[in-house]
Structures are given as structure tokens and as C-alpha cells.
Amino acid sequence: MNLFILNEKEINEKIAREILDLVKDKPSCVLGLATGSSPLGVYEELAILSKKENISFKDVTTFNLDEYVGLNPSHNQSYRYFMNDKLFSHIDIPIQNTNVPDGINYQDSMDYYDQKIALKGGIDIQLLGIGSNGHIAFNEPGTSCDSFTHVVDLKESTIKDNARFFDSINDVPRKAITMGLASIMQAKKIILIAKGKNKALAIRRLFTEGIDISLPASILKKHDNVDIYCDEEAASLLKGDRAC
């Protein structure tokens, strides 16, 4: 794993640049996308630079990591709505090229999502955030390393982390459909973004502990092409121990 400790602007710019360079070199590339606050600045940068540099996404395919169970795509806290609002409506990607797990008819996504990814040749770059409890996508502590797309019960810590996006913590869905850890590990390259003090303990554990299902992100140690971008707050507990 490669660790980069940068400010937020630098993180957004560097990741957006890498994605745009991939799109230019491989116009039909496959991107794995995440939601939440961590990648938001990257998406803003992608929208700005793709227009400025006339880089087209018309042949790109995207697969999002996850979706809340029970939320319609039109719900303003669904991840489909988030992606349409924050990225897809600002670039020239055909909407039919974008894939988000179905939170209503989730059995279909469980059955076919990984197959669809494989049929497209696999994910070239997968973006990830990390939860305060070390989850990636919605793979909570205890998730099998062999898991593919599945439905999960969200931990209270995850519900609390995401409550800021809802009117009340009681409105946060208790289940989600998510790409599994095995799904994520099949990506050719993985980029993980961690921002803020609430991610500091998870990042410290990632770099100082072994692979353990109590920290789902620790499976990334098995991947040979992972970049981890942290701001100073997320990296604050690493001190001098930054070895993988």
C-alpha cells in the first residue's frame, strides 16, 4: 500500500488527474465509484477538468459500490440520486453506462452485479472511502473476505456516521446492498480516501495491524496496487509508523 498525506485540495486534484489520464488512455475504461463526503471533491474536480480539457466519458462504464435497501433512486439520500447529482449530470457519460445496486429489487443486483462487472472486463480503478469502524463500501466488521455483492445489516457506528445526511438518525436505513470484499479486491487498482479525525483510528489500525475481519479494510494489504490518500487529521495517529 502506498500512503500519501496531503491537504484536501491536493487529494482531489491528484485522484481526478489519475482518473482523467486513464479515460484519455483507455476511453472504454471501467470505474468503480463511491459515495459520501470523501470522494465529493474528486467528482467536482472531474467535472471541471473534463470540460476544460474536453475529455469525454461517453464510452466509460461505472459501477457504484453500494446502495441503501428500501430507498428509491429518486430519494434524495439514495446513492443513485447522489451520483446523478454530484457527477453524472456534470459529465457526458450516458446514464445507461452507469450502474448502482438496486436498493428496491436488490435480489437482482445480488445475483448479477458481479457478473456485469466481469462482462465489462473488470474495474480499472476502484475508489473507496473508509468508515470509522474500518468498513469499506458497506462491508462491516465480520464480513467474509470471500464475499461478493450482498445485503448487510448496518452497524450502529455506521448509522451514526451517516446520520448527518438525514433529518434524523431514525431515518437512516438499517440495511444496504454492497459489493463484497472479494468484489472490491478484483479491481486492477484501488484508491482509498480518508479525511477527518474520525477516520484516524481506522487508518492507524490499517497500517499497524494485520489482516483481520474486525477491520474490513485490512484486506487491502493483499492487493498489490493500492494508493491511500489521507489528510493530516486522518493520518494523525500514525506518528512515525507509516510502514505497510
pTM, to two decimals: 0.93
Contact by Cβ (8 Å): 32, 125? yes
pLDDT of residue 91: 98
User: By C-alpha distance, which of 188, 209, 199 is closest to 236?
Assistant: 199
> What is the rounded radius of gyration, in angstroms, for the C-alpha atoms of the chain?
17
Active-site annotation holder among 12, 45, 64, 66:
66
Active-site annotation holder among 45, 67, 124, 135:
135
pLDDT of residue 81: 97
Q: What is the pLDDT of residues 167-223, one digit of tens each?
A: 889 888 899 999 999 999 999 999 999 999 999 999 999 999 999 999 999 999 999
Q: What is the pLDDT of residues 95-108, one digit of tens each?
A: 999 999 999 999 98
pLDDT of residue 242: 47
Active-site annotation holder among 45, 114, 124, 140:
140
| Catalytic site includes residue 66 | yes
pLDDT of residue 240: 58
User: Using CA atoms, how far apart are residues 95 and 240, in angstroms rounded to an integer?
Assistant: 45
User: Using CA atoms, how far apart are residues 149 and 133, in angstroms rounded to an integer?
Assistant: 20
> 175 forms bridges with which residues in the sheet?
153
User: By C-alpha distance, which of 132, 126, 18, 23 is closest to 66?
Assistant: 126
The mean predicted confidence, pLDDT, of the chain is 94
| Count of all residues that appear for the chain in the document | 244
CATH fold label, 2-230: Rossmann fold (3.40.50)
pLDDT at 113 over 80: yes
pLDDT of residue 155: 85
Helix H or strand E segment including 30: strand 30-33
Q: Where are the domains of the chain?
A: 2-230
pLDDT of residue 243: 41
What is the DSSP code string of 84-136? HHHTGGGS---GGGEE---SSSHHHHHHHHHHHHHHTT--SEEEE---TTS-B
Contacts for 94 with CB less than 8 Å, ≥ 6 apart: 58
User: Using CA atoms, how far apart are residues 234 and 172, in angstroms rounded to an integer?
Assistant: 25
